[in-house]
Amino acid sequence: MKVRKLKIENLEDAKKIVISSNCDEYVYAKLSKKIVSEPFMVEDIDNIAANILKQEALSCGADVAVSKDVSLFKKGTSTVIICANKNQIEKLSLKLKEQPFELKYLSKKIIEINSVQLKEIVCSTKKISLKNKPLVMGIVNLSPDSFFKNGIEDETMACKLAQEMQEYGADIIDVGAESTRPGSKPIAVKEEIKKIKTFLKIFRKESKIPVSVDTYKSEVAEVALDEGADIINDIYALRYSKNMAKIISYHKAGVVLMHMRKKPLTMQQNIKYNNVVSEIFNFLDKQIEFALESGIKKDSVIVDPGIGFGKTVENNSLVIKRLFDFKSLNVPLLVGLSNKSFLAKIIEDDNLNERQTATVIANMVSVLNGADILRVHEVKETKKLLKIIKALGNL
């Protein structure tokens, strides 16, 4: 059973969500009006449990959109939408504690999702406060094969760029030595280690700012953490290297778990999802569980839905629109869409300046939809954006 809270702001979107439960058409309009707020979606719930859930919801003054199979008492599982206000959902969660068929678990998840408040990210000896989120993560590319052609091969110059980003207000520096753009090929482990190690040796003499290393190779991660890195940003979400989770756990480091289908060389081929948001959510939920089982603390975990990694323009757009869904994972949400090609496709203009403008706008939407961390190339411009949003009262 997968549970997540949604954020619905208009009737059109509400109707789409109600329809996804496969309920009878005659309740579309009625239930759509009830969920223009923050309803809960429950996937893979036993149909017997769904029937009990609906009856308990009605007794609290709420309602549940259930599939026709549930109404016909057919065996199996389905997706339901809980339509309730804050008071009703609190009453319902208490009632579900006394029910069978995993409804106790559902009660626990609803209470957890509604009560968790993220305070800080714990990584090694550092604690990164989330009090003034969203945080800004500045990107430093040590690879000349960077997707946006802004890689800096000279580690000393890269350190100067990182220092400049810190002066502009970056909260975290994210450094990588291997490009993971669509179609890119991996580099040798020794070469990656050399670049990362050299950068960290120089930079750590100048700054104590939290440093994230963008790598999926455990050998690179181990050297990076020994040299003072605080977070490992893993595009494979701990699936590539079998020792990665243990190394991160041993160092008490932070980890970014990103969603990606296939690998960089092939991730943009034959893209197909039945439900892109649900599939990403379920993948990240599974990898968080794996991280915790491996000894990594939950307050050290960050998730990234992987904008641009194995996704179409439409997929990326929908994920950004539905970022709030991922808040139910109860860990910080990172969004990295800086200067990516899908933005150029949306505006039908690949001009450098236009793509950067599109990045600023897309980052603004991401923040308003729930992003806790923005991974960007342009730190100065992003910090200005956040000041404007905060000044206008939306954060």
Which sign does the torsion angle of CA 197, 201, 202, 208 carry?
Answer: positive
Distances (CA, A) of 272 to 20, 39, 61, 262, 268: 18, 27, 39, 12, 10
pLDDT of residue 394: 61
pLDDT of residue 239: 96
Is 239 one of the annotated active-site residues of the chain? no
pLDDT of residue 151: 59
Catalytic residue among 126, 375, 383, 390: 375
Is 149 one of the annotated active-site residues of the chain? no
Among residues 358, 341, 373, 354, which one has the least CA distance to residue 146? 341
pLDDT of residue 392: 85
pLDDT of residue 395: 64
3-state secondary structure the chain: CEEEECCCCCHHHHHHHHHCCCCCHHHHHHHHHHCCCCCEEEEEEEHHHHHHHHHHHHHCCCEEECCHHHHCCCCCEEEEEEECCHHHHHHHHHHHCCCCCCHHHHHHHHHHHHHCCCCEEEECCEEEECCCCCEEEEEEECCCCCCCCCCCCCHHHHHHHHHHHHHHCCCEEEEECCCCCCCCCCCCHHHHHHHHHHHHHHHHHHCCCCEEEECCCHHHHHHHHHCCCCEEEECCCCCCCCCHHHHHHHCCCEEEEECCCCCCCCCCCCCCCCCHHHHHHHHHHHHHHHHHHCCCCHHHEEEECCCCCCCCHHHHHHHHHCHHHHHHHCCCEEECCCCCHHHHHHHCCCCHHHHHHHHHHHHHHHHHCCCCEEEECCHHHHHHHHHHHHHCCCC
pLDDT tens digits, the chain, 395 residues: what are they? 899 999 887 888 889 888 999 888 888 888 888 777 778 999 999 999 999 999 999 999 999 999 999 989 999 999 999 998 888 999 999 999 989 889 999 999 999 999 988 999 999 889 999 998 899 999 999 976 554 445 577 889 999 999 999 999 999 999 999 987 776 778 899 999 999 999 999 999 999 999 999 999 999 999 999 999 999 999 999 999 999 999 999 999 999 999 999 888 888 888 999 999 999 999 999 999 999 999 999 999 999 999 999 999 999 999 999 999 999 999 999 999 998 989 999 998 877 677 888 999 999 999 999 999 999 999 999 999 999 998 887 66
pLDDT of residue 31: 85
Among residues 30, 3, 15, 38, which one has the least CA distance to residue 108? 3
pLDDT of residue 150: 53
Give 210's Cβ-side CA count (13 Å radius).
26
pLDDT of residue 349: 82
Catalytic residue among 54, 217, 340, 355: 340
Number of residues that make up the chain:
395
